[in-house]
Structure 1
Amino acid sequence: MADPRVKVIKIKTGVVKRLTKEKVVYEQEAEKQKERVQKLKEEEKDEHIIRKQEEVLQESMMMVPDCQRRLWKAYEELKGIIDNESDMAENEDYMAAVKALEDAKPQLPTIMANMS
């Protein structure tokens, strides 16, 4: 019978990987939007267009902290599981989870990354 811990590790690893990618995408999107707004201002486009694009920028920027909070929670859950299941250290899924934690660490807010 398959170890139920493996299933939990696989699921939590997938969540951490997805949220890590999601945060990077939101940051890239916000950066592109900043450039777009700046370009519109330089070209002295209509104020209404600029305001709307600034609203889009704000929405993109608001997603980053939300994504960081969700990533931190998922990171902590997976880290707790990994710490408690060290007897599985040779398991392929366990090693993938450890790698996912390492990959996610740079995307965590600095204060939180220092705590783990």
Structure 2
Amino acid sequence: MPRNAAAADPHRELMIKTKTCQRLMKEHAYYLKEVEENEEKLNDIKADASKDSYDIKRFQQVLDESYMMVPDSKRRLDESVQDLEQFLETHNNDLESSEWYSQAKDIFKQNITVDGPASTETNVDDLVEGEAF
């Protein structure tokens, strides 16, 4: 089957777009969970008197990387859901009988506006002179 013929099938496109949204929803939830777990681990490391400042600083960097992934995954999810929504508006009449149509509609019903961490801003008042943020 030629590549253009597969792209022309709206049922196949709906399946792909729906599965993409489902995968990105799971991925976003995973990153939110990872941030929570890393925050707990960092607090445990800070509470452990045997850990040196280097270990704390390195794990803080791991946590910061986790924080960066949350807005990125949310942005990709939002774009994917918007793409699916536009696709359904364009092909609504053709796809109402599709098995993926109801799953696509469920994606819109689910709460996909889960907020990430409360704040990822750096408090510059606490920085030591010469310290990068």
Render the CA deviation track for 1:10-29: whole Å, top value 9, x for unaligned. 11111100110001000101
Correspondent of 1:58 among 64, 70, 87: 64
- Name the aligned partner's letter for residue 90 of structure 1: S
User: Counterparts of 1:61 and 1:52 in 2: how far apart (Å)?
Assistant: 14
Greater share of helix: 1
Distance 2:21 2:87 in 1: 13
Q: CA RMSD in A?
A: 2.0
Higher radius of gyration, 1 or 2: 2
Partner of 1:67: 73
Which one scores higher on RCO, CA 8 angstroms, separation ≥ 6? 1
Extract unaligned runs of 5+ from structure 1: 110-116
Q: CA deviation at 1:59?
A: 0.3
| Structure 2 residue aligned with 1:95 | 102
> 1:38 matched to which residue of 2?
43
Q: How many residues align?
A: 108
**Structure 1 CA distance, aligned partners of 2:115 and 2:97?**
27
Letter in 1 for 2:62: V
State the TM-score, normalized to the length of structure 1.
0.84
Shift of 1:96: 1.4
Structure 2: 5+ residue stretches without partners:
1-5, 117-133
Pairwise CA distance, 1:31:
0.6
Q: Any runs of at least 4 consecutive aligned residues in structure 1 with deviations exceeding 3 A, and if so which? A: 106-109
Q: What percent of counterpart residues are identical?
A: 30
TM-score where L is the length of structure 2? 0.74
